[in-house]
């Protein structure tokens, strides 16, 4: 990925709106054994609303239901109970997928094709005209920084390069909704930063992005709201900045503080002619919040997240 990236032409849409793009209502998925008996409850009564123009993060340990949720939204799985709606349609309605881009955790691409051939193949699946397809391929390859390797077979790509061409494939149809599963997996620190910047730019274009990640700093950097899942249940839901704020602690930052001022309150700071730089609440890191919720969930398995 290069520092100067050119995004495909797309109409500028407003930022986050109240329009709901994805809605789940008591969405439940139970995997059954050979005899039809309930074996694993992968997702239990999930209620979510994801709005147009936001970056929404799905967090949780392995087996928490993140991938199951994405597959239910895509219509790749059928729910045991409840509903998943995308653009107001049932998730099982395949026509809605024309408006969706999907980057799976493992990119299942044809290794004998090169980058140009790969994107051309997916462009043909969307019945894109030849010239439109050619222009989009050039834009996307430049965007993900693979122009130097555009004619190399994917079998020669590193994992990081494969993630980049996988993202380009997910964007070939200029989707309104992007589902990204571990988008920074395999990228070096520079590539990770550029991927996060790209996700933010796509959000600024008006695209709605749902990303699942184990890399908590990545989620903290780009997501507007998050849902934390554990053992198939929703444990926390809300804006990242609000969830990470420590509500019962006040933090003061000041300059030119004398020893006499240290034990004083705001009025005393003013009397000592001390410049008050900031009054704010300290925040947790997303990692601290995540680990606290998982530990509390294990200690109190019946606790559910409040509506946000």
Which residue do the tokens 């993202």 mark? 167
pLDDT at residue 291, as a whole number: 81
Give the whole-angstrom CA distance, residue 16 versus residue 240: 15
Give the whole-angstrom CA distance, residue 95 versus residue 110: 24
pLDDT at residue 307, as a whole number: 56
Contact between residue 50 and residue 15 where contact means Cβ atoms under 8 Å apart = no
Could you tell me which residue, 42 or 300, shows the higher pLDDT?
Answer: 42
pLDDT at residue 262, as a whole number: 65
**Cα-only R_g, the chain:** 23
> What tokens were used for 157?
């790509």
Is residue 39 helix, strand or coil?
strand
How many residues are listed for the chain in this entry?
308
pLDDT at residue 8, as a whole number: 44
Residues 6+ apart with CB under 8 A from 180: 103, 167, 170, 199, 209, 210, 211, 212
Contact between residue 74 and residue 38 where contact means Cβ atoms under 8 Å apart = no
Could you tell me which residue, 118 or 282, shows the higher pLDDT?
Answer: 118
pLDDT at residue 279, as a whole number: 66
Which residue do the tokens 């601290």 mark? 288
pLDDT at residue 5, as a whole number: 42
Mean of pLDDT values over 250-278: 72
Mean of pLDDT values over 23-37: 90
**What does pTM read for this prediction?**
0.81
Question: How do residues 132-159 score in pLDDT, each as one tens digit?
Answer: 999 999 999 999 989 999 999 999 998 8
> What tokens were used for 297?
């969930």
Residues 6+ apart with CB under 8 A from 28: 41, 43, 44, 45, 46, 79, 80, 81, 82
Res 298 pLDDT > 50: yes
pLDDT at residue 93, as a whole number: 93
pLDDT at residue 308, as a whole number: 56
Tally of CA atoms within 13 A in the half-sphere of 185 that contains its CB: 19
Could you tell me which residue, 9 or 16, shows the higher pLDDT?
Answer: 16
CATH H-level superfamily of 20-245+283-299: P-loop containing nucleotide triphosphate hydrolases (3.40.50.300)
Mean pLDDT (the chain) is: 86
- What are the b/e assignments for 284-302, b being 16+ CB within 10 Å? eebeebbeebbeebeeeee
pLDDT at residue 12, as a whole number: 42
DSSP 138-151: HHHHHHTT-GGGTT
Res 3 pLDDT > 50: no
pLDDT at residue 186, as a whole number: 76
Cβ neighbour number for residue 167 with a 10 Å cutoff = 23
pLDDT at residue 55, as a whole number: 97
Question: How do residues 76-127 score in pLDDT, each as one tens digit?
Answer: 999 999 999 999 999 999 999 999 999 998 878 999 999 999 999 999 999 9
Could you tell me which of 75, 85, 81 has the C-alpha nearest to residue 49? 85
How large a percentage of the chain has pLDDT more than 70? 88
Residues 6+ apart with CB under 8 A from 29: 41, 42, 43, 65, 68, 72, 77, 79, 80
> What tokens were used for 28?
């439940």
In whole angstroms, what separates CA 253 from the centre of its chain? 33
How large a percentage of the chain has pLDDT more than 90? 53
- The ranges assigned to domains in the chain are 20-245+283-299, 251-280
pLDDT at residue 178, as a whole number: 97
Question: How do residues 195-235 score in pLDDT, each as one tens digit?
Answer: 898 999 999 989 999 999 878 888 889 999 999 999 999 99
Contact between residue 215 and residue 286 where contact means Cβ atoms under 8 Å apart = no
- Binning pLDDT at 50, 70 and 90, where does residue 246 land? confident
Res 14 pLDDT > 70: no
Contact between residue 40 and residue 32 where contact means Cβ atoms under 8 Å apart = no
Is residue 21 helix, strand or coil?
strand
Residue 185 DSSP label: T
Residues 6+ apart with CB under 8 A from 82: 24, 25, 26, 27, 28, 45, 46
């Amino acid at each position: 990925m290069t520092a100067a990236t050119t995004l495909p032409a797309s109409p500028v849409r407003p930022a986050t709106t109240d329009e709901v793009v994805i809605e789940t209502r008591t969405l439940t998925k139970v995997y059954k054994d050979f005899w039809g008996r309930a074996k694993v409850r992968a997702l239990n009564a999930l209620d979510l609303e994801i709005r147009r123009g936001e970056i929404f993060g799905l967090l949780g340990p392995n087996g928490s239901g993140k991938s199951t949720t994405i597959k239910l939204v895509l219509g790749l799985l059928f729910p045991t109970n409840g509903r998943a709606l995308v653009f107001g349609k049932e998730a099982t309605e395949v026509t809605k997928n024309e408006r969706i881009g999907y980057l799976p955790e493992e990119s299942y691409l044809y290794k004998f094709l090169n980058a140009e051939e790969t994107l051309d193949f997916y462009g043909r699946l969307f019945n894109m005209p030849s010239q439109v397809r050619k222009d989009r391929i050039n834009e996307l390859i430049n965007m993900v920084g693979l122009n130097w390797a555009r004619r190399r077979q994917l079998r020669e790509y590193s994992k990081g390069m494969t993630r980049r061409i996988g993202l380009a494939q997910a964007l070939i149809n200029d989707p309104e909704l992007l589902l990204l599963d571990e988008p920074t997996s395999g990228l070096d620190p520079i590539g990770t930063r550029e991927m996060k910047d790209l996700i933010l730019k796509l959000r600024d274009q008006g695209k709605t992005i749902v990303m699942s990640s184990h890399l908590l700093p990545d989620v903290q950097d780009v997501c507007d709201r998050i849902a934390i899942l554990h053992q198939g249940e929703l444990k926390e839901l809300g804006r990242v900045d609000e969830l990470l704020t420590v509500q019962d602690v006040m933090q003061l930052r000041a300059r030119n503080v004398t020893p006499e001022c240290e034990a004083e309150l705001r009025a005393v700071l003013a009397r000592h002619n001390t410049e008050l730089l900031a009054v704010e609440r300290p925040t947790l890191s997303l990692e601290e919040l995540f680990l606290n919720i998982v530990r509390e969930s294990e200690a109190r398995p019946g606790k559910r997240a409040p509506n946000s």
